[in-house]
Structures are given as structure tokens and as C-alpha cells.
Amino acid sequence: MAASNERIREVIDEYVRLVATGTADEIVALYADGATVEDPVGSDVLTTAEEIRAFYGGLEGLDTETRLVTARIAGGQAAFHFELVTKAGDATYTVTPIDVMAFDDDGKITSMRAFWSGDDMVIS
Amino acid sequence: MAASNERIREVIDEYVRLVATGTADEIVALYADGATVEDPVGSDVLTTAEEIRAFYGGLEGLDTETRLVTARIAGGQAAFHFELVTKAGDATYTVTPIDVMAFDDDGKITSMRAFWSGDDMVIS
């Protein structure tokens, strides 16, 4: 049976929280075996846990805050809009992607595709 | 060559406008031959122009206003959050789906997947 909307919402909340404050290992633990990551959409699809861990490892140590803007869940899948605000020196970089995720029956993420581009980044 | 971000943004704007004020034929004209529609995600996928036309025909004659909330475009694909407000009698029904679309090189929509559920509908 597909993961419930409630379970999927929990995983999204956890994902958004961990992107700001978690380790790459904690984020990878949200993913199912064999999961794929395409971030941003149009880039090479990451297909191994090692690649996914390396991808999120790039976020570790950054001074980042995140906030879920809105989530829509349907058919065991989800699309959600969230905000990442990263401070580096005197600059603040804000991106607000729309991520699309599929989940297995346990609520593990089986695919993630992030819609955003450098044009969407706001630097202040 | 993939449709430009500017072209895709035009098609999204046109789509959102036509969902409120257009005919089913006008909306179907935004789709490529062989396009698919899954609305909401998890429902049967519509695979013929006749099915897609019938789907949008259900919107004709409704007193609906639409508004694009935000769009993210990447790799010739897009995810966008929009609002539909439909008045029927004394009631107002508001849904704010996140739609995910792929496009061909001419900017015709090749697939549409709408993330929303009845739980997201606000009745006032």
C-alpha cells in the first residue's frame, strides 16, 4: 500500500529540516535503495547512494536555514515548494525550489527532482 | 534544442489564463500530439487528445479565476504553483495545485501531472 499522505508529509518536513541542519548520512537515510536524484532537473541523474551522499555533503557546514512554503501530496508522490537561505560572509543567497518526490510504501524517497535555476537565486 | 525558459514561461502563463477563460480546444492546442495528462497524480493517465479535451471541457462554463503563484523552470521542464478560484452559487472553491509539465522543442506540453487533493480544497 502506498505511504499515507501523513507519512509523506512527515518525510518532507524531515527532509526540509535536515537539508538545513542534518548530515549527508541523515539525508541519505530518507532515501530508498536505488533512489535517484536530479537536482536541478536537466542535470545528470544521481543513481547511487555514494553520489547522493556526496551531493548532500556539499551542504554540510553551510550556514543554511530552510522553510517549507507549501506541499501538495497525491498518489503517493509529492511536489513541494521550499526556501533555502544560505549566509556566506556578508551575502545571503536565497533559492526557493519546487521539489518533486516519489515514495515507496514505507515513505522512503525513491526519486527526487528539483526544479530551480540560477536565475531564481536572490542574492542580498 | 529544448524550448527556452522564456518560451516555457509564456506557455505556462497562457495555460493558467486559458484554464480560467479558454475553451477546451484552446487548451488542447497547447499540448503536443501524444501528450499525457495525470490530474490529479495517481489518477488514470489521459493519453489521447479526445480524453484531454473532455477533461478540460469539464471546466468550460465554470466561473473560474486563476492566478500563477510561482513557476520554476529547469531543463525544458517546469513545476508551477497556481490558484483556481471557482464560484458556484454562494460557495467559492479554491484549489492551489502544483503542476509539473514537460515540453517539446516548440514549447508544446508533452506531459502534465497535477499535484493536489480534495484535502487541499478550501470552501468559503
Closest Cα in chain A to B95: A72
pLDDT at residue B119 is higher than 90: no
Please say if A15 is a catalytic residue.
Answer: yes
Phi then psi for B76, rounded to 5 degrees? 75, 15
Work out the average pLDDT over B38-47.
97
For every residue of chain B, DSSP letters joined together read -PPPHHHHHHHHHHHHHHHHH--HHHHHTTEEEEEEEESSTTSPPB-SHHHHHHHHHTTTTSEEEEEEEEEEEETTEEEEEEEEEEEETTEEEEE--EEEEEE-TTS-EEEEEEE--GGG-EE-
Higher pLDDT, A104 or A1: A104
Q: What percent of chain A has pLDDT over 70?
A: 100
H-helix or E-strand spanning residue A40: none
Tens digit of each residue's pLDDT (9 = 90 or more) over A12-48: 999 999 999 999 999 999 999 999 999 999 999 999 9
Which CATH code for domain A5-123?
3.10.450.50
The residues near A100 (Cβ < 8 Å, ≥ 6 apart) are: A77, A78, A79, A112, A113, A114, A115, B79, B100, B115
Res B61: pLDDT: 86
pLDDT for res A63? 94
Q: Return the SS3 of A106.
A: coil
Distance CA A90, CA B8 (A): 34
Q: Do B115 and A43 touch (CB under 8 A)?
A: no
Nearest to residue B115, comparing CAs of A67, A88, A75? A75
Confirm or reject contact between A93 and chain B (CB < 8 A): no
pLDDT in tens, B13-26: 999 999 999 999 99
Q: Tell me, what's the pLDDT at B2?
A: 85
Q: Which residue of B has its CA nearest to A2?
A: B42
Within A1-124, strands assigned E span 31-38, 63-74, 77-88, 91-95, 98-103, 109-115, 122-123
Q: For chain B, what is the radius of gyration of the CA atoms?
A: 14
Percentage of the residues of chain B whose pLDDT score is greater than 70: 100
B1 pLDDT band (50/70/90 cuts)? Answer: confident
Q: Residue B116 has what pLDDT?
A: 96
Q: Which of A31, A39, A56, A99 is catalytic?
A: A39
Instruction: Determine the average pLDDT of the residues in B98-116.
Output: 98
Q: Which sequence spans correspond to the domains of chain A? A: 5-123
Please report the pLDDT score of residue A29 as a whole number.
98
Contact residues on chain A for B80, CB-CB shorter than 8 A: 98
Contact B42/A at CB under 8 A: yes
Cis peptide before A97 (omega within 30 of 0): no
